[in-house]
Structure 1
């Protein structure tokens, strides 16, 4: 009987080891040999589960180690970014960024979560699970997942003074500009100043944001000037008034620039999400998103938008308090300057780019360098073909001593010589062709490491996610949502 029990135990252990090896990367890959030259098992102690759990407990998040990054190839242990860390992911198309980074990060979130995307897969995979711990708010003005506006949000709710109005105007300015549009220094600044004044006037008079667009279509309108004077902003009132009294060419240019910045508000599909039904907030039966209440909850906000005509990107940026995905959806110009600060305030951020160049398009060369350097962890999943950046990444990963042994025979005497030369641990071609299931991890204060990515399909919530995907498919077949409130669980 004992022999049977021992045999059963050994069988179970063999199965467990086989499963672990399968999860660790579906077998060895051509780049795994690099692990011997990279971070050792002890080098990664700060990122391991035990250390991460202790740090999380000190931060008031017991039992949740952090954002999962992947498995150490040497030990097989999971590695985590802490709840004070900010992370950058560089992942080309179809390399598993959603399955291995975004969805696991969403599942790990202990509190309020904001995720931005231009595709429906994140919502489909995680909505039902997040609705079980709080309200799932889906902001979908461009019908990425065919969601109806069963709730609304007032972008002017954050405008309390001229500073906050300027910040909101900045989001509109950044979100409305194409990546290759260098603009005009004078008209961009003047248009943003005009938009700032009009946003402030609308907020002071408790107007819907659509009134701002109405004011911008008529340079002779003075209503907003009177509102600003009554509200105690005479200098801004003077600026708004002077914008309409300059030469016709300059006036038209300034107003046209401001209209372009606020163009997304013109869309009837979009403004159903940002104005009360019938123009009366008190009579609108739909729930209204309160950002102050949201950040204290366990709710989830999915902010969805696509680029091109009618994009809601300026509104998505204004609505966002943390990013999980997308540079082309959430053009938050201040992000590089705020990155390390956000982590220290307990707002972990995971920003994912399809390439380093995509980040440069949004933030500029200096901004992207600042963001990249401020990240506590950088995860590269492959799929990028930018030779210059890959060379920089190869340098950051480092070199190893390659030993060459040569032998010779002289007068019957055999001799050997050893030569050492420095070689890149991973060269640019290997980084460009990084196999799926592997990622390079650069963590602060630690040597670079090669890790195995862990897609949600190999995680403990796989069954729940598959059920969420099936439910999303069923909803798609039955038609757009017609409920009167966002999905919520008992905790909402």
Structure 2
């Protein structure tokens, strides 16, 4: 017997049935006869009247003091027919309910009550939002199975979600949080569904930008963004190089030789800084990496006053050939996305006459705008650029927040990092989680498993991300025993009384023993059905939720229209062919400002 079966029986089924039978025999039957005789007397009064005593009136039909009449027989027949009809209706509804019943819902009674999750109820999150001047309460997570109350993450919370495939995370969590966000939104993904479902609704109140260098959503580069505008110093150059290193590796890869891995990141950081200070396009970095003896980057760093960085790059160039090629080869692999010609038009102007708008993160975060950053995994991935774009935009929001009252954004920004382990491997994310919440930057990271997070941030980094997230949700379809055991332990245990009966020739004896069991075992969590999620909130017990899909939200029709519109073929915008763009001579100083006619 599974824990879900046992934990909610509350004792012996035989004892319960016997108790119900005794109550019916001792109270129910006499009460029914009392009512039958009383109502019959009202319809056709008995000449001798009715006794006032309850038991005399109830049992008179058996003692002969109140003989059966046709009136009582008709009433009894009518009552029997009505009871049979009600029983048939109950049976039909029970069968229907049984088909839809979710076995896991039985665990809800042992999990958090409404009081336990008070900080996440609509009343409290709405009060908190009002203090920040925001009308919407927060990010809806779902409705409690126990009681039906809706729970939210507030605009000070950060979220982590682990949902396996085909569990409804897009339609119940990611897409609704984008649509309902009161301010700017960044959304990353390796599929087009998020943008298709939400972009038209978001476009009603702000600009929509879709970064799609690999054609995930078949978007044309109608705008461009210069990644090097983020590289203002050596620290940011090192951060971007680290994100390039993480994003360029195969899933689960731990890196190569420790020396070459570190030296390669340092070299890449130096070249990124050189391209930034020298007003060069970012693809020039790959050119330098392909020509290990080219010292143009050293000269640019020297001229800009970055002497130590120039010495570092020059030192690598001066090393023996074999050692130099090892460092350059490692860095070249990290920056491999820069040789993808399809990407060039998204990160470079097409020439002196390019009239496309340039994406400026500092402007973006000041309105209710939306940025979708899309990429695929595998060879030629644009993941490092997706991560860099996300980091640059989030950093612009953080800097803007510092200038506002209380050091937080007046209107919160939502970052939906869908498929984070595949297309947005943000190395510093665990360290920033708690900080971003205090700035009004609500980060919502989606993973398909715990091990995905470990592949990116390591075991300690994943634990830090899990611990600092104010709201964690698990949506099912994960089969990692260690993770599920940890989650089961956090959900907790309950006490129950185990009853056993032994029969012997001289009679029988009943033994009762107090025991404990998991509220949701590893097997229960592995089999969590679609439409249910477990939520762990800061300072609150675990709670079982019903998820709320887009189809059950007020804007369902708009979502359907948006999806239909963007799933149909679209013509290529006039004047844009998506042809590869090269860094033409004479435009080397045009990568830091808006291109104007």
Query: In structure 2, the residue corresponding to 1:213 is in which secondary structure?
Result: helix
Alignment match, 2:376: 306
The structure showing larger relative contact order (alpha-carbon pairs under 8 Å, at least 6 residues apart) is 1
Are 1:325 and 2:418 matched, yes or no?
yes
Distance 2:191 2:572 in 1: 16
Q: Deviations over 1:366-414 (max 9, x none)?
A: 1111111111111111000111211111111111112123456799887
Residue in 2 that maps onto 1:394: 488
Instruction: Provide the secondary structure at the position in 1 that maps to 2:116.
Output: helix
Match of 1:33 among 106, 109, 113: 106
Q: Partner residue of 1:74?
A: 146
Within 2, Cα distance between the matches of 1:453 and 1:481? 39
| 3-state SS of paired residue (1:422) | strand
State the partner residue of 1:362.
456
Call closer, same or farther: CA 1:270–1:359 in 2, change over 3 Å.
same
Q: Distance in 2 between matches of 1:482 and 1:95?
A: 40
Whole-Å separation in 2 of the counterparts to 1:27 and 1:52: 32
**1:133 — aligned with what?**
205
Partner of 2:268: 195
| Cα displacement (A) at 1:123 | 0.8
Deviation at 1:323, TM superposition (A): 3.9
Q: Which residue of 2 aligns with 1:146?
A: 218
Would the alpha carbon gap of residues 26 and 234 (structure 1) be closer, same or farther in structure 2, given more than 3 Å must change?
farther
Q: Does 1:454 align with 2:548?
A: yes
- Moved segments of 4+, more than 3 Å: 24-28, 406-417, 478-484
CA separation in 2, counterparts of 1:103 and 1:164? 31
Structure number, greater radius of gyration: 2
Q: 2:432: which partner in 1?
A: 338
Secondary structure in 2 aligned to 1:277?
coil
SS at match of 2:423: coil
Stretches of structure 1 lacking an aligned partner (at least 5 in a row): 1-23, 485-492
TM-score (norm 2): 0.74
1:444 is aligned to 2:538: yes
Offset at 1:90?
0.7
Unaligned runs of 5+ in 2: 1-96, 395-414, 577-597
CA separation in 1, counterparts of 2:216 and 2:488? Answer: 37
Structure 1 pair 429/346, CA: closer, same or farther in 2 (3 Å)?
same
Question: How far 1:284 sits from its partner (Å)?
Answer: 1.8
Does the 8 A contact of 2:188 with 2:424 survive in 1? yes
- Matching of residues 34-433 of structure 1 within 5 Å: 34-61=107-134, 63-178=135-250, 179-278=252-351, 280=352, 283-320=353-390, 321=394, 322-326=415-419, 327-407=421-501, 416-433=510-527
Residue aligning to 2:27: none
RMSD, aligned CA = 1.9
> Aligned pairs, how many?
455
